Amino acid sequence: MRFATYVHRHHTRVAVVEEDGTLYPLPGVSSLSALIADAGGLPGLLAAGAVALDVPPGPNVSDVRLLPPLQPSSVRDFVTFEEHVEGVRRSVQSAVGVPEQWYAAPTFYFTNPHAVFGAGDDIPMPPGSAALDFELEVAAVIGREGSDLTPEQARDHIVGYTVFNDWSARDLQSAEMKVGLGPCKAKDTANTLGPYLVTADELDGYRDAEGFLRLALTAEVNGEVVGRDLLSNMSWTFEEMVAYASRGTRVVPGDVLGSGTCGNGGCLAELWGLRGEQTPPPLQPGDTVTLTVEGIGSVSNTVVPGADPVPLPTGRRRSRERS
């Protein structure tokens, strides 16, 4: 099943999306996050969706404004594509190759769950940035709470998948990473999720013998294809990522886990690192980025001017007096 959250005639609804785009609203449901939490896992969510198919259909998806399918409890963004690591390190950190430690575990950072945009929303330029970039990813959504999971157990905790664009201010990122912490404001302004939550069972037919989802990924800027890859080029499966995320802590319903950016043009910074110049150029207001994932759908966002940064002083050099 595919679930959408949308606004129509000033009302927010959650619906099952049919192949032709017809929406079947779930009676009395306005939050997919709440529905996932109450469903207790994939079987419960599918049962709730089946109820919607027994009621009269609503509008077509072309006649509504799609919101992010859910408001995440948290967003962990992993970095699981070796090719992406190599290109971006060269571009952002002036480093060569992939660090050996990267192969030890599926590294992630926490990004902003309060800056989530929908499939067709405008994206503001991050304050103070002149080098905005997109990042083509797929995100898994947790449907059941769990701790210290094995990868085999983790599969039952993934309720579905969605397209994820981790918008990145590369100039801010390059400066922040010199501190040895971050990124912070480089990733803080916007994340796109959408267009739908596709339940995990829908993608089982794309799973290969190792458990990877062989989905075609395409990135376009202003209608020109700049990147293509396969999701199965990840170095860890989503189940392995969930298991690692749950180690020594817990994952809960509504948690979002990003795959990390794919290779072969999954972002501009990778191409800059390979080419030694900013070609294609950084995103500017008026540019439209369209990301498409086989079996899930497309998100298309246009960059617009953002706020000016509020001035702050630089750090003060203190005397370090103790009394």
Contact criterion met (CB below 8 Å) for 177 and 153: no
pLDDT score recorded for residue 281: 98
The reported pLDDT for the residue numbered 89 is 84
Tokens of 279: 């070609």
Question: Which DSSP string corresponds to 41-64?
Answer: SHHHHHHHHHHHTTS----BGGGS
Beta strands in 112-156 (DSSP E): 116-117, 123-124, 132-133, 136-142
Segments making up each domain of the chain, as ranges: 2-66, 75-304
Mean pLDDT of the chain: 96
pLDDT at 313 (0 to 100)? 97
Query: What pTM did the predictor assign?
Result: 0.97
**Angle made by CA atoms 18, 24, 27, in degrees to the nearest 5:** 155
For residue 145, what pLDDT band results from cuts at 50, 70 and 90? very high
pLDDT at residue 114, as a whole number: 98
Question: Is pLDDT at 94 greater than 90 in this prediction?
Answer: no
User: Tell me: the pLDDT tens digits for 69-86?
Assistant: 999 999 999 999 999 999
Q: Tens digits of per-residue pLDDT, 255-293? A: 999 999 999 999 999 999 889 899 999 999 999 999 999
According to the model, what pLDDT value does residue 96 have? 78
Which class is 75-304 in CATH? alpha beta
90 pLDDT band, cuts 50/70/90, is confident
If you average pLDDT over residues 197-221, what whole number do you get?
A: 98
pLDDT at residue 305, rounded to an integer: 98
